[in-house]
Amino acid sequence: MSVTHEKRFSQQFDNSVASRALQLARDTLQIEADAILALKARLSADTHNEFARATALLLSCSGRVVVSGMGKSGHIARKIAATLASTGTPAMFVHPGEAAHGDLGMVTKADAMIAISYSGESDELLAITPVIKRLGAKLISMTGNPESSLARLADVHLNIAVEKEACPLNLAPTASTTVTLALGDALAVAMLDARGFREEDFARSHPGGSLGRKLLTHVRDVMRTDQLIPAVKPDVMLPEALLEVTRKGMAMTAIVNDDYHVLGIFTDGDLRRLIEQGRDFSKTLIRDVMHTKPRVLGPEQLAVDAVELMEQHRINQVLVCEANGKLVGALHIHDLTRAKVI
């Protein structure tokens, strides 16, 4: 085979593979989308209100929701448990194989179990579900066969049947796991809404995330305090006030009385305007050039309120005062950036 012919063959082969891969990707997404739409239609036509019963059962659970499954169903079960837990429903994953060898001791009669098996005949799950029932815990099964052993054992059965898998061999769990995951999300959302779960609750479950930082971080958590606060008395000369601005590195200083109540503020912007005016700094008292109505925040306000205030008034720093006007902190936009509130 010549070099030219070999190169042409390689290009044709690559194009053929690429075309086949793209077509399979489209087919996979279409099959899985159709499976979810079929699930939606099945829920809409559910005369027995199985989904509503499952939601009510989980809401009445005084313990935890235990989610279990083998193989690919186990991976989906882990995700469903994690989603429930992060949206206000205490939940955990238990491997059915490990449960049969001691981990079942983690389950109590106050709990509810969601058992996932597409066939409904998973040996590992069927070995532990009778024990779960004897404990007095409630059982929700998610299977593709309403006549399966697991479906018959359950207090509530949720049908996750699909017409076909996206796998060209119709063997690897693909559409069925997608449908199971979507149904688990639907349960979590229904529970979230029924519990009145709010952004603040989500933030408490995700303190390390951006939403957690925004909704749980208060001004007092990031403000500068004590000796780090730039502050001078009203009768000091402007050069002395400028030294305080420089020492504290906040591009401003507060002006306070003997009780540390705020009288005003002086910023770098004010300094530039005085320079333009040709003001004699040596003869200027800070009280004569300060702003008497500075923007202030309370220490218990959220840090995002500080961001909004700074953006609204195009300022880079703000004073933090108690309700009586006493200065307790100072906040620069860099402090908010470091705290990852912005």
Beta bridge partners of 291: 265
Per-residue pLDDT at 11:
60
Per-residue pLDDT at 259:
92
The vertex-312 CA angle with 310 and 313, nearest 5°, equals: 70
Per-residue pLDDT at 276:
86
Query: In whole angstroms, what is the distance from residue 200 CA to residue 117 CA?
Result: 35
- Does the pLDDT at position 49 exceed 60? yes
CB 51 within 8 A of CB 43: yes
Tokens representing 258?
Answer: 């003997």
- Does the pLDDT at position 336 exceed 60? yes
Q: 204 in a domain, yes or no?
A: no
Number of domains in the chain: 2
Per-residue pLDDT at 34:
95
The reply to whether 156 and 38 lie within a common domain is yes
- Residue 314's region, left for phi above 0, alpha for psi from -120 to 50, else beta, is left
Q: What DSSP state is assigned to residue 169?
A: T
Q: Is 328 exposed, middle or buried (0-12, 13-18, 19+ CB in 10 A)?
A: middle
Please tell me the pTM assigned to this model: 0.62
φ, ψ dihedrals at 90, nearest 5° = -55, 125
Element (H, E) at 297: strand 296-297
Give the pLDDT band of residue 8 (cuts 50, 70, 90): low
3-state secondary structure string, 233-245?
A: CCCCEHHHHHHHH
Beta bridge partners of 69: 116
Q: What is the chain's mean pLDDT, rounded?
A: 87
Give the pLDDT band of residue 202 (cuts 50, 70, 90): low
Q: 205 in a domain, yes or no?
A: no
φ, ψ dihedrals at 114, nearest 5° = -110, 110
Tokens representing 96?
Answer: 């059915």
Question: Which residue is associated with the tokens 């063959």?
Answer: 9
The reply to whether 177 and 245 lie within a common domain is no
The reply to whether 226 and 319 lie within a common domain is yes
Q: 318 in a domain, yes or no?
A: yes
Per-residue pLDDT at 46:
73
The reply to whether 121 and 13 lie within a common domain is yes
Other C-beta atoms closer than 10 Å to the C-beta of 300 total 11
Q: What is the mean pLDDT of residues 27-54?
A: 90
Q: Range of 325's domain?
A: 219-338
In this predicted model, what pLDDT tens digit does every residue of 205-251 receive, in sequence order?
Answer: 544 444 445 666 888 988 999 999 999 999 999 999 999 999 998 99
Q: Which DSSP string corresponds to 40-82? A: HHHHHT-TT-HHHHHHHHHHT-SS-EEEEESHHHHHHHHHHHH
The reply to whether 225 and 291 lie within a common domain is yes
Tokens representing 6?
Answer: 């070999």
